[in-house]
Chains A and B, each alone.
Chain A
Amino acid sequence: MGDLGPAIDDAARLEALRRTCLLDSPPEEAFDRLTSLATSVLRVPVAYVSLVDDRRQFFKSQRGLAEPLAAARETPLSHSFCRHAVESREPLLVPDAREHPTLRHNPAVSEHGIIAYAGIPLITSGGHALGAFCVVDRAPHAWTPEEIEVLRVLARSAVSEIELRGLAAELTSLSAHLQTLVESRTTELRASEERLRVLLDVNNAVVTCLDRASLFEAATVALARVIPFDRAALVLRDPVRDVFTVLGVAGPVPSPPVIPLGTEWPHTGSRSGWILDNGRPLLTPDLREAPSFFEHELLVREGILSAISVPLTVKGRIIGTLNTGSRVPGRYTEDDASLLLAIGEQIALAIENLLAYEEIATLKARLEEEKLYLQEEAKAEAAFGDVVGGSRAILGVLEGVRKVADTDSTVLVTGETGTGKEMIVRALHDLSRRKDKILVKVNCAALPAGVIESELFGHEKGAFTGALSRKLGRFELAHGGTLFLDEIGDLPGDLQAKLLRVLQDGEFERVGGTRTIKVSVRLVAATNRDLAQAVAEGKFRADLFYRLNVFPIHIPPLRERLDDVPRLVRHFVMLYAAKMGKQVGPPSDAVLSRLSAYAWPGNVRELQNVIERAVILSSKGRLEVADLEAPTAGPSAHRAGRSLEDVEREHILSVLETTGWRVSGDRGAAKILGLKRTTLEARMQRLGIVRPAAGSGNGGRQPA
């Protein structure tokens, strides 16, 4: 009687019982109604609905039980009759328990006075016997089939109620489960919304930033709101040189910083390099452990122990990395990495915008400068046209020009002042592959020393007092074209060094700037000094001289090619006559021979000026070439007070002296002055010019 049958402790049955949630539950009217009905219809004193688990039987509803049983609402299994009905799954009908072979020993008989018992097992649709519907009499009772039928009906009602309870409980549980799901989903959505809001904030903060400093600041402020860091850095990639530079660093930076701004590091062996190669975030819980990139040692030295790095991607290209670091090892999770990646996308877009803007701004500034420069040039254009001359000397020069023009070689043009170096330079440019690009000229002697560096290399805003905005230098202006440095011997020493670097590496920094600018410029330099001598005297850098002297072109002075003079004269006469709209006849042989006899210390330019003046002074189509005198003949100031007549008299006198007072003939004064003999004689008379008597030496002046 003490042993539990297999049915009682069956796990499935007990689970089914538990799910009803009826064990230890308060009495309910639905069940009480049934037990009440049972007692009145069957005229018995006791009726109950019992639920039997593995330890006890619990009275869900009872009617007629005596105290203390009624209050306890349960009895141990040893006292239970119902358990047998549950085990057998058959109605248990006991007319007189005292006569029953096993039940007569059940304590309930003596303790509770149970004599007659009828119990119908409560079997659910799931097939589990959970308990029983019972009636008890305190006197022997022979249970009739009708009575048993009534019990069965009542038992079925009880089962229905039980099942209903089960369903209700299940419904509640499902509902609670649903509630939980909804809540968790809502939390997820809110987190997602929050994340999108963060990204939007980041986007708004950075996308309008058009300079590097404010972009970085806005980015780190936004970042700090969602990801904790002790150090953050934006790293940009230079695809041409395959190095990374730090755009900005946030967080307390030791002074001096271990990794200063502008530091460059290579692709291989760096975190950023790894990210470039693998295209995904790098999450490092402890920087002291492998794999080691060389940033790790530097960061650990600053106390940063964990880090995340994510790629900054625009249109599938990785343009840099976004990095955060913490003093706490293992600070970051995969979620942090994915958030950082998303933020990185916004920042990448902003950087792309910024770089494009910078490029546009640079190009625009260059175009503006080019425009201004060309406008100035157009005004100052000397109507040279082309190089004139057929002498061997000049043909040699032109041959040299032809040979070197189309290469990108540096050319050094030497020659005295006025030999036409600028024309040679222009010819070099026009025959080169850069002929459709700009030719920029800088006169190193004309610029004050303090300004020349800024003129050549540009300056950043605020680089010095007066630097109100960024200015592009001549080198940048000449990018893609030719730069002509005239009078290069006058370049100050410190600039010689900077120029040398540009010639060697093609790069420089603007005054007050840190950014290295790269240019492609073909350099042509000119000087009228002896640079070799200047090098010997220590006034010019030897290494720069050798760099410049790659292909020297020397223009001989005019006095070494006097046979070019007639051609030059005719050319200039034609040039100025056309320019001034005057009809001028060709220069006479006399004029040409006179001009060819002169030494021309000022070279072609002097000749040009003389001819220009002659054309201005020409009348009736006849060229008036004034007297040629050496510059050392005295200042012209004291001549200002003389009349035209005086000038004419002196001129005729000096010519007569040259010819030995010969007036007519091929070597006579008349021919040289371009006058008929009779005209000259008349003029001499008018001006009172008389040949002095031999030995008088008074210059032939006779009082009028």
Chain B
Amino acid sequence: MTMAKILVPLTSFAKSDVVLNTAFALAHQQSAYVEVVFVHADVREAIPISDMPLGPEIVQELVDAAETGYNIAAKRIRGDFSICAAKWNVKVVGSPEKSHCATATYREHVGHLREFLDEQAPLSDLVVFPSLADGNFDHERQGLLDTLTKHGRPALLCTNVAPTTIGSNALIGWDGGDAAAIALKAALPVLESTGSVRFACVRSHGTPGRSLRDAKEYLALHGIKASESVVSSTTRSIPSELLEIAHKNGNDLLIVGGYGHSRAMETIFGGTTDYLLSHNDVPLFLAH
């Protein structure tokens, strides 16, 4: 069964072309509906809270500047939206409808990303986020965490480069743990479309979990062939080893369980997930 709805919240036009290309590439494969939303704050939030009273002209100037900024961003995003839709054969529609091809809508939402995701993420099959590398993307990072943990939905983290394919050569980081199994299940729509996946098996640190054989049998029932390689990390950390394998194999999607270890463990030991979030050079599919 393919994905029904992919949510793409954008808070700026930076990286919007990469995000839209990635989301539409996946939507094309899934014949899914994509909801692209430019989420931005109310222009009145540009007025600083201060003990010093500001003159009305200054306040107006600040509000006008914010509005101009949002209008420019919206125009750029709408432009990227149209270009990417045409490139990936995505039909632009006014509202969700069944179609044999991918469909998409664009709208704007005045508000904050986290509240927006509280409303929209639970009924989305995937939420797409821009790369978190090179800059301060706290809102997006928190939004991604909320999507995984609070809303229980998978997230797709883009790179800084628009992909030519996605999911056709997927790699899954596998340690037999709960999160890895959840990620495998969540990624089924993608893997069913392409019919194959490679497991990168890492030794689990906790109790032995599910065997690779069980995972491969489950995939076989879904018509998915699986191969495997073993990750033996002697010189580098597991997450960087995973990225290196993905790079060497030309994988176009890396699937991992997000925050499989406890958050406390991840915080203290600089966990796997956090490293991947900041360093992924291949689209990253996460589920928790």
Q: Indicate, yes or no, whether A interacts with B.
A: no
Residues of A within 8 A of B (CB): none
